[in-house]
């Protein structure tokens, strides 16, 4: 599990109604319990019984918050606890960490065996370190929050802890160790034990045992639904916009679709891609649809190609055009002409950019032409799924687990991502799957599926994987539908729903 995955899961717990304060309490209690087990081992190995002292080195982030909670529980277990705060309390930004720090501060006058020391300068560390003389040192300094070279006083604290004649317990990830790849750029805690929460972080798996020691994974009460159902936490996967960014840096999307009879579908897809933050959206369409598509918005760039429907004569122009884009969406409003099918099959076979297939493309494009494309997303409803994967598609299944199993087994036929639209959206890629519950009955209006495809293409253009883009797009699209329903009831139009897309990207939890 990556640090980002863990942050997403934490926020999704909050989205489900499980407060992160509860998760921190569970983590700190679990940490204290594991420390007590380690202390029992020391006691059994020792000829002289003595009350053991625990030294907790804490930072101002969530890792420190876990340490604050552990301190309370260790006191109740009869341990002496020395808490060394390595950052000014004013730098605590997390509500959960601040809450647990204030609990310790309110425990005055102290009746238990707790000492709290605040380090304001690294020069203070050595004397404090020698004074506490702890039997077990707890690294609750950074965890997954490491970025680059360690700064003071953290660096000095790491060196002192590593030099101590004590058992060292790291919380979640040893300070200084990259939680993603296990690398140590400068220096890092050399732990005897690493107590991590929920799942093992990637960096622990890849790191040398001299840094992580024995890995202990603690269950802190996160339900599997927090990882399976899309939630607000998943919005963290969208990259923050660079303040120095320029036009085009945040995604260029090419939409290939439209026909004489269908102009709304590509327009909705394009407008949704722009609402998702894409800088530039160009719609390549037959001339017969160009004027109508342009009428939807002056923000859309429309390139009309000769003909009433997409045909093979357009293929070279579209292929050349696609080279300047970050993702390509194919199929919205394309129609069902046989020559359109020939053109689209040639296009998807030759286009090398991240690709999204929707609507008519799913009925016209041969499965064989996209089987090996990993950076591909298809967005079918049940009938389009059947058209794309063949008559072996499942009949109507009521049990959700059976439905997931049946559709996922068929989705294995492609290396890309399948976003199966429904009352609960199912997102598959290989053995991975996510579910999305957002949406409104008002979204049965025509065009909302085109919005979804536009969102997927914009998120892929911004660098997300097809799997993450498809899941996020389903969540955001459904959320916009919910917002539109609050405003208009069930009788809203797709154009009205698009107005709510920017608001659907906002997080209520931080």
Work out whether the CA dihedral 122, 123, 128, 133 comes out positive or negative: positive
Inter-CA distances, 472 with 208, 371, 424, 432, 452, Å = 35, 23, 14, 15, 10
Query: Residue 302 pairs with which residues in a beta bridge?
Result: 283
Question: What are residue 360's DSSP bridge partners?
Answer: none
Tokens of 482: 């919910």
- In whole angstroms, what is the distance from residue 449 CA to residue 480 CA? 12
Q: Cα 503 from chain centroid?
A: 19
d(CA 232, CA 235): 6
Q: Position of tokens 């317990």?
A: 169
CB-CB contact of 132 with 52 (8 Å): no
H/E stretch holding 363 reads helix 361-364
pLDDT digits (tens, 9 = 90+) for 380-429: 999 999 999 986 666 666 788 989 999 999 999 999 999 999 999 999 99
User: In this predicted structure, what is the pLDDT of residue 167?
Assistant: 95
Structure tokens at 9: 């899961």
- Cα–Cα separations (whole angstroms), residue 219 to 10, 42, 309: 13, 24, 57
- 240 φ, ψ to 5°? -65, 145
Strand-pair category, 355-357 with 425-429: unpaired
pLDDT at position 241 is 80
pLDDT for res 36: 94
> What does the chain come to in residues?
510
CA distance 390 to 161: 62
Q: Which of these, 290, 352, 279, 368, lies nearest to 319 by C-alpha position?
A: 352
* Domains in the chain: ranges and CATH: 3-228 (3.40.50.10260), 232-500 (3.40.1190.20)
Q: How far apart are CA 357 and CA 378, in angstroms?
A: 5
Note down pLDDT in tens along the chain; length 510 residues. Answer: 898 999 999 999 999 999 999 999 999 999 999 999 999 887 666 555 556 899 999 999 999 999 999 999 999 999 999 999 999 999 999 999 999 999 999 998 887 799 999 998 888 898 888 888 899 999 999 977 777 789 999 999 999 999 999 999 999 999 999 999 999 988 999 999 999 999 999 999 999 999 999 999 999 999 999 999 999 999 999 988 877 777 778 899 999 999 999 999 999 999 999 999 999 999 999 999 999 999 999 999 999 999 999 999 999 999 999 999 999 999 999 999 999 999 999 999 999 999 999 999 999 999 999 999 999 999 999 999 999 998 666 666 678 898 999 999 999 999 999 999 999 999 999 999 999 999 999 999 999 999 999 999 999 999 999 999 999 999 999 999 999 999 999 999 999 999 999 999 998 866
3-class SS at 306?
A: coil
* 52 in Cβ contact with 135 (< 8 Å): yes
Q: What are phi and psi of 255, to 5 degrees?
A: -105, 125
Q: What is the pLDDT of residue 121?
A: 83
pTM reported for the whole predicted model: 0.92
Gyration radius of the chain over CA positions: 28
CA torsion angle for 77, 81, 83, 84 (degrees, to 10)? -150
pLDDT of residue 392: 64
- Looking at residue 442, the DSSP 8-state letter turns out to be G
pLDDT tens sequence across 133-164 = 899 999 999 977 777 789 999 999 999 999 99
Alpha-carbon gap, residue 253 to 325, rounded angstroms: 6
Helix (H) or strand (E) holding 270: helix 264-275
Give the per-residue pLDDT at 331.
97
């Amino acid at each position: 599990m990556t640090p980002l995955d863990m942050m997403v899961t934490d926020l999704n717990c909050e989205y489900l109604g499980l407060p992160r304060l509860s998760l921190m309490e569970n983590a700190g209690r679990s940490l204290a319990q594991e420390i007590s087990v380690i202390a029992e081992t020391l006691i059994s190995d020792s000829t002289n019984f003595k009350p053991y002292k625990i030294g907790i080195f804490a930072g101002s982030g969530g890792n420190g918050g876990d340490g604050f909670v552990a301190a309370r529980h260790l006191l109740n277990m009869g341990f002496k606890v020395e808490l060394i705060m390595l950052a000014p309390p004013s730098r605590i930004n997390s509500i959960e960490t601040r809450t647990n720090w204030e609990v310790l501060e309110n425990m005055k006058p102290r009746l238990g065996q707790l000492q709290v020391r605040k380090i304001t300068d690294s020069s203070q560390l050595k004397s404090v370190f020698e004074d506490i003389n702890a039997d077990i040192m707890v690294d609750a300094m950074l965890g997954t929050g490491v970025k680059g070279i360690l700064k003071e006083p953290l660096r000095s604290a790491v060196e002192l802890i590593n030099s101590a004649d004590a058992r060292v317990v790291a919380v979640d990830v040893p300070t200084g160790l990259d939680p993603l790849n296990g690398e140590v750029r400068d220096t890092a805690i050399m732990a005897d034990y690493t107590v991590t929460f929920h799942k093992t972080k990637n960096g622990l798996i890849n790191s040398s045992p001299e840094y992580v020691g024995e890995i202990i994974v603690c269950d802190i009460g996160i339900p599997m639904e927090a990882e399976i159902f899309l939630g607000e936490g998943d919005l963290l996967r969208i990259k923050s916009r660079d303040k120095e960014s320029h036009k085009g840096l945040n995604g260029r999307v090419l939409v290939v679709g439209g026909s004489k009879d269908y102009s709304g579908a590509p327009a909705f897809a394009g407008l949704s891609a722009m609402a998702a933050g894409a800088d530039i959206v160009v719609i390549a369409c037959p001339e017969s649809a160009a004027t109508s598509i342009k009428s939807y918005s002056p923000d859309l760039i429309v390139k009309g190609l000769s003909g009433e429907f997409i045909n093979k004569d357009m293929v070279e122009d579209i292929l050349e055009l696609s080279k300047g884009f970050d993702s390509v969406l194919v199929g919205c409003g394309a129609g069902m002409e046989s020559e359109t099918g020939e053109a689209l099959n040639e296009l998807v076979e030759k286009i090398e950019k991240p690709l999204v297939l929707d609507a008519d493309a799913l009925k016209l494009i041969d499965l064989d032409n996209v089987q090996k494309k990993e950076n591909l997303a298809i967005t079918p409803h049940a009938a389009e799924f059947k058209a794309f994967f063949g008559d072996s598609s499942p009949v109507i299944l009521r049990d959700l687990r059976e439905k997931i199993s049946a559709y996922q087994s068929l989705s294995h036929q492609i290396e890309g991502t399948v976003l199966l639209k429904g009352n609960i959206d199912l997102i598959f890629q290989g053995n991975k799957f996510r579910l999305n519950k957002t949406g409104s009955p008002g979204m049965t209006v025509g065009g909302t599926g085109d919005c979804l495809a536009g969102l997927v293409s914009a998120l892929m253009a911004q660098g997300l994987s097809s799997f993450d883009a498809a899941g996020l797009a389903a969540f955001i699209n459904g959320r916009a539908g919910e917002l539109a329903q609050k405003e208009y009831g069930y009788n809203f139009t797709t154009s009205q729903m698009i107005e709510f897309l920017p608001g659907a990207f906002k997080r209520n939890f931080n």
